[in-house]
Structure 1
Amino acid sequence: MEQLSRLARNDMSIWNKVLVGLIAVMLLPLFYFSAVALKTHQYWRSVANKIEDRLEQLPEEIESLRYGGPGVEEGEHLNAVRIRLHEYLVNRGRIWRNAKFQGGEGGEYRVAVEVPDPHGITLNKTLYVFEQAPEGERGYFLGEFKVNAVVDKDPLITLVPTMQWMSPKAKERLESGQGSWTLCEVMPKDMQLAFEGMTEEEMRQLLPASVVDEYLAHGKDGAQRKLRDYFVLLKELDRQRAVLVEEQEAAKRHEAYMWAAANDAKDKQLKFRSDERASLMAELDRMKVERDASLARRQAVDEELAKVEAKIVQLMADNRATAEEMAKIQAELIRQVERRAEVVAH
């Protein structure tokens, strides 16, 4: 019995040692995770304290942002920004984006305006249509249009151009059916606000090279860019285009008249000259006949003249011979007279 109790005490001692060892091993992770938990608690407590301090400051900052105060620039508080935004939206009018061209003929263009639904566009409303370009790229003004047809609860509307002249490029873009359109209730106004915060590179990419330097110079050394009234400029441009197109058409008509007159004059002149040439050729033939007759007559006259001249020469020779004979006779008569006179004298 004593041996059994001794063995039992030895076995209990071993298990106690094992238990103590296991407890010692488990204490290390326990201490580690306790330290981590304490550190985490301290961290989040410090964060919570900062948030509590921040929450105490927020009402004052919110009031400053709403109505102005320390740390907020003049005119940059929420109410002022809301007022500026309201003014901007009022001046801008309504805008319908992502309108899709659905075809058209006879100068009418069907457009689907799906957002908002309903779109709220009414009959005879004037809209300014732009080609909708990707962000940062240039768009294209397609023209001023009037709403010619609207159907309730239908996104499809019909537009007709009101400008007197449309460039071939704008017409091609209108009828291509590619991309989307932006419909504006009011012609966008030229505002300095639209370009605030843009870098020089962004402005050079967005604006034409002919005017970008003017925009970049705004605000430098007191320079102020003159704002443009695009509605007036486009109307004047449309008027000038219409005048130029009419002048071009008139020039084409005058050119056609000129060529018609020139061709008519050319045909008449050609006929006149042809008739004149035929008349002159007939006259030439007649003159040739008369010339030949004249030459024949001259030849006959020359022959007759030669005969007459020969007779004259013969007559002159005969006359000279007769004269010599008569001279001899006269000389003989004179000698006879002188002889008779001498005879009588003696």
Structure 2
Amino acid sequence: MGLALLMGLVTLFLSSKNWHWTQILLVTCILFAATGVLYMATETASMHQELRSGIPRLEKQLATLEQQNELLLKGSDDQKGIRELDHRLQIVFRERGRVWRQVQPTGQIDNQGRIQVEILNPQPHGLDQDAIVFAFETGPPNNDSPANGPQYLDEFRVVSVEANGVTLESVHLLLDPRKRELLARSKGPWSLYETMPADRHKLFANYTDEELQQMLPAATVEEYIRHGKPANDDDDQWHVIGLDENDQRVAENIDQAVKKLYDRTLRDYAYLFSDLARQHVVMLAEIRSVSEDNKRIETALKSAEELSAFRTEESENLAQDLNGMQQDRAAIEKHRDQLTQVLAHAKSRIDDLLTKNIEMANQYTQIQLSQMKSINALAPKPAGPVLTGR
């Protein structure tokens, strides 16, 4: 191409003596244009050749990638495919429900138990009015003092929906006054769950004993550590499962099991939290009832003490009256004894006088009879019959 350009220039130089300058200019432009076209054609052919040389390799690579994509999509005997994994993921999502993380409370809880929260991710958040969500505080656990670590807040109902958040209403606030204090001091962030998270053994299967001790309270961490390990003789039947020689669970007669493992009992947190709230309400009612009973008993005890003091004073007064009456009785009895003696003496005198009177009457009668006999003896006898008055 360079040689052709050089020959063209030489030809133009030799023809410049015979050609008009316009012809020379036209031929020069044609020469340079042809040179450019020739250069571009050469480069294009080179590029086509280079690109076409890689087509078999790319086609082979494309076939390999398509095969790999097909394998990833459908899976194999040793590896699950995207379709099956996506199906399992959808099942997990359906079991777990939707989750909204990094939810931030933006105000204080009001008298009706309502609080506004901000949801920045996802957008739109997808929460509808009257939906039920379960709120948890997020953050590292506090094993030394679990009450001061992240807490389960409560079950909430969505009462209003905004673009960047919602207004939540506590379901158990009126039943449990402690919820107000817990929500008032919670600064976030929260995690909102559409359904209460379920307890599963596989959630803790990949953690070491040390990690479990850091995550869980000391009161319950032992059962998480022992799960799947050989059972002890003192373990109750509710925490022991039996496996056969194929590591299949023995359902009926556990005594026929080849080995026995410790099995942690799963917890239904939705039921437990609801039942604890119910028990707390019952306990509050019982405490209030006992407090009122104590007040009534204290009032009755105070009245009894006042009555006892009154009765004690009355008893002391009656004792004084009794002492005076006993003294009066002693004086009366003494006077009675004296009167009895005087009366006995008077009665004795009367008896003596009566006896003397009778004796004197008898003597007087004898004297009269004696005098009558004397008179009768001295007097003459009457001539006729004597009338005696009979």
Equivalence for 1:68: 75
Native 8 Å contact 2:100 2:193 kept in 1: yes
Native 8 Å contact 1:97 1:181 kept in 2: yes
Where in structure 1 are there 5+ consecutive unaligned residues?
1-50, 309-346
Equivalence for 2:88: 84
The separation in 2 between residues aligned to 1:95 and 1:59, in whole angstroms, is 35
Moved more, 53-62 or 222-231: 53-62
The separation in 2 between residues aligned to 1:270 and 1:108, in whole angstroms, is 51
Equivalence for 1:155: 165
Secondary structure in 1 aligned to 2:136?
Answer: strand
**Distance change >3 Å, CA 136–CA 78, structure 1 → 2:** farther
Query: Of residues 281, 285, 292 in structure 2, which corresponds to 1:242?
Result: 281
Query: Of residues 95, 101, 104 in structure 2, which corresponds to 1:100?
Result: 104
- Tell me, yes or no, if structure 1 residue 126 matches structure 2 residue 137: no
Equivalence for 2:256: none
Deviations 1:96-119 (Å, cap 9, x if unpaired)?
A: 222333102324131222323443
Superposition CA RMSD, Å: 3.7
The separation in 2 between residues aligned to 1:206 and 1:54, in whole angstroms, is 48
**Distance change >3 Å, CA 180–CA 249, structure 1 → 2:** same
**How far has the Cα of 1:136 moved from its partner?**
9.9
Equivalence for 2:151: 140
Query: Of residues 226, 229, 251 in structure 1, which corresponds to 2:290?
Result: 251
Where in structure 2 are there 5+ consecutive unaligned residues?
1-57, 144-148, 231-242, 244-260, 346-390
**How far has the Cα of 1:281 moved from its partner?**
1.9
Amino acid aligned to 1:66: L
- Tell me, yes or no, if structure 1 residue 191 matches structure 2 residue 200: yes
Secondary structure in 1 aligned to 2:120?
Answer: coil
**How far has the Cα of 1:188 moved from its partner?**
0.9
Deviations 1:3-48 (Å, cap 9, x if unpaired)?
A: xxxxxxxxxxxxxxxxxxxxxxxxxxxxxxxxxxxxxxxxxxxxxx
Equivalence for 1:229: 268
Equivalence for 1:282: 321
Deviations 1:203-230 (Å, cap 9, x if unpaired)?
A: 2221233333333344446545443322
Equivalence for 2:358: none
Equivalence for 2:176: 166
The separation in 1 between residues aligned to 2:321 and 2:139, in whole angstroms, is 79
**Distance change >3 Å, CA 154–CA 81, structure 1 → 2:** closer
Q: Return the TM-score normalized by structure 2.
A: 0.53
Secondary structure in 2 aligned to 1:96?
Answer: strand
Give the total of aligned pairs: 247
**How far has the Cα of 1:151 moved from its partner?**
4.7
Q: Return the TM-score normalized by structure 1.
A: 0.59
